Amino acid sequence: MTDIPTDATETTSLRNKMIDQLRDEGWITSPEVEAVMRKVPRERFTPPGTALADVYNPWDAVVTQTNEHGVHTSSVSAPQVQAFMLEQAQVRPGMKVLEIGSGGMNAAYLSELVGPTGTVVTVDISSEITETAARLLAENGYENVRVVTADAAEPIPGVGVADVILVTVGAWDIPPAWTYQLHPQGRLVVPLRARGLTRSISFVMQGDHLESTSAKQCGFVAMQGSTEHHEQLLLVAGTEEIALRFDDGLPIEPSQLDNAVKTERIEQWSGVTLGRREPFGSLQLHLAITVPGFCTMTVDQDLDSGIVVPNRHGFSLAAVDGDSFAYLVFRPAGDDDVEYGVHALGNHAQQLADTLIATLHDWDAHHRGDSTPIFRVYAAGTPDDQVVGDRVVDKVHSRISLSWPAA
């Protein structure tokens, strides 16, 4: 068991304080999700010795498994993320739920939501994870949860058709098994990565494809098994520190960038400002939809030579166009605002900078705030004229389109 105080009222108090905060900030919106998150003791599903301050931190996950390279491969998701994904799933009593990515904590929530007439199947590719999940669920009385060790990219025997499929690992693709095992009026909730950005998306079937009903910014450990996918890394020639990361669409001729860092860096400011606490996820998605060579940039801080000067070494929104690349920057603009701008390098740096500045203005005029694009998932091989969307990303099993709702 986790470090539980002798006085159990302390853990109850911490749990209720956390739930109050999530409810007051709008992450919990239904009485059903609020009730189950108050009821289930989170400390019973985290590793022994985990500090209660970490267990009941609303924003942070608790890591439960790390591989030999130090990469986190399993965790108990942050309460905030669990809350909004449960809200997206809209689980009701009597439903059949398939959870992909196990651990026990979320399955306990799902068990409470479906009640005694419903069923929950939770699946993980790691036998170590499923053994722990099965033990924790049994110890805490959740006998109606079936725990399975399998690669969830394939149909899970004995599940049949699920009313809700809730994926709690980061997915790059939508395997056919998930739509095959989803009830026609069911709901698939999945942290889906497209163009390097991850969103927890609630999908419903619309004819021949899945269509999103909501999307929330999030981060998850990556799915393992037959559908796992790794970013493609382009190290900019002439440097040892600049890496451009592509989830898809690696430039056909990356050697065109070889001399980009030998040119003068252009700095251009947009006049577009954003409050420090204002949502900016729609800006990321607008660039992903609009800019063909969209990618992200990281800089090795230990090798930083000053060729580029991002605000954050670990993550910058970026783009490549032929022999030039650019990245977004920001600077203070008053007490609580920042202004966005662009740094660009290469023979056509000015042209690329102008493109990104125009994209910032377009976002500012039409899509800033909480607006969310529509994600659609079609089967791989669907002809272009049957795919609706402004940006189409081809994966192994699916074609995923992104577009802004019609005005």
Active site residues: 77
β-bridge partners, 269: 341
Tell me how many degrees the CA angle 147-161-398 measures, rounded to the nearest 5. Answer: 95
How many Å from the N-terminal Cα to the C-terminal Cα in the chain? 53
Residues making up the chain, counted from first to last: 407
Q: Which long-range contacts (CB under 8 A, 24 or more apart) does 173-177 make?
A: 173/227, 173/229, 173/395, 173/396, 173/397, 173/398, 174/210, 174/377, 174/395, 174/397, 174/398, 174/400, 175/226, 175/227, 175/397, 176/379, 176/397, 177/152, 177/153
Euclidean distance between CA atoms 93 and 193, whole angstroms: 30
Residue type at 316 in one-letter notation: S
Q: Please give the Cα distance from 7 to 16 (Å, whole number).
A: 15
DSSP state for residue 27 in the 8-state scheme? S
Tokens of 279: 């949502």
Cβ atoms of 298 and 314 within 8 Å: the answer is yes
Taking a C-beta distance cutoff of 8 angstroms, is the pair 357, 174 a contact? no
> At 188, which helix (H) or strand (E)?
strand 182-194
Q: How far is CA 209 from CA 116, 182, 279, 326, in A?
A: 32, 12, 29, 35
